[in-house]
Amino acid sequence: MDFELPEELNMLKDMAYKFAVNELGPMSQECDREEKYTPEIVKKAAENGLVGPWVPEEYGGAGAGMLGNCIITEQLSRVDMGIGLNIGAATFGCEAIYFYGTEEQKRQWITPVCEGKMISAGAYTEPDAGTDVAGYRTRAVKDGDDYVITGNKMFITNGSVCDFYVVQTITHPDEKRHNRFSQIIVPANTPGITRTKIHGKMGIRSSDTAEVSFEEVRVPQTNLLGAETKGFYQLMHFFDTTRPMVAAQGLGLSQGCLDHSVRYAKERQVFGAPLGSFQITLAKLTEMAIRIEALRGLVYKAALLIDEDRPDYTLAAMAKYLSGQTAVFCANLAVELHGGYGYIDEYPVQKFYRDAKILELYEGTKEAEIMTIGRYLLTR
């Protein structure tokens, strides 16, 4: 077993971190305060091969696989998870197009996103149904050669800035609960779509989140992804394959907390000695470092297995669960180590603290991950 990254991935890691420091760092505080989305940074990231790195080169990506994608996500989140999400989630929804779309759909929709010319979004969650995917109500009714879509989506990443959505809809309401759904590509400029940006989020404030309403939105049936009635299973596959990337966000944020805490412990003088000379400080830093290293192994392994076409989706769920736990833990200790300074925006750890909590909520709550892991343990 070789636990060392190949040279090309180490180079990718270094490049991504330098990009984050130079491009994300200077804008971090402003974007957080003003809830400012960053299209110019997304375009720069695309020029550097950082948008859709998991996408094969034939469709405009870097061909770095899921492990490369996680490494980039980790390094971006190490500086600013919100702006990093703007880059990492620029392809949000494209996963379904890649796995289930036609060649024409892949080239029409995925390639422009990787080139920084478009932004995608997955329109899944609804006001009354998040984890309960089978409880979604948005309908798509056939009319001639079109689908007519009506419904509401909530907490949609990139919802007010994207160029198109992959929408989870009910196309066969009379089928069994899990066989009612289909996924359809919907251009964002289609008449009948209303997009409302959500303000006042606790964290990842530079990432765009919106409520999206579809009122008799008409799109051609050729925009269907894969086969009708397979949408539920397509969405489950989406969550299974993207969990390592979300886990990598928590890994990067946790590492950022440790980076800033170590730096502060060296610089801060208390009782006539460096903060880092006290045993309780060393204990906190050590606990953070151990959890981060354990998480890194889990994230990298889950991602590598996907690249090797040997996916372990239970392992991916474990990575996602541990990621949220680790990020919240490390952010809390980072604020404590900074004392009163950790509570004000002069230091970034207060932002890390606010950003961390979303990792226990989106793309599968920690409770949902527990159910996934627990069911596997009882059935293997």
The set of catalytic residues is 363
Strands, E assignment, 125-263? 139-143, 146-157, 164-170, 181-187, 193-197, 209-220, 224-225
Q: Is 150 exposed, middle or buried (0-12, 13-18, 19+ CB in 10 A)?
A: middle
Helix boundaries (H) for 217-278: 231-267
Interacting residues of 176 by C-beta distance below 8 A, sequence separation 6+: none
The whole-angstrom separation of Cα 108 and Cα 90 is 15
Residues paired with residue 140 on neighbouring β-strands, in sequence order: 149
At what angle are helices 279-307 and 313-338 packed, to 10 degrees?
160
- Strands 164-170, 181-187: pairing is antiparallel
Give kind and range of the element (H or E) at residue 174: none
The whole-angstrom separation of Cα 344 and Cα 20 is 22
The whole-angstrom separation of Cα 283 and Cα 277 is 11
**CA 71 distance to own-chain centroid:** 13
CB 209 within 8 A of CB 159: yes
Interacting residues of 174 by C-beta distance below 8 A, sequence separation 6+: 180
Name the residue type at position 172.
H
Which among 172, 169, 271 has a CA at the least distance from the CA of 212? 169
Phi/psi of residue 208, nearest 5 degrees: -80, 130
* Six-digit token string for 324: 């949220």
R_g (Cα) of the chain, nearest Å? 21
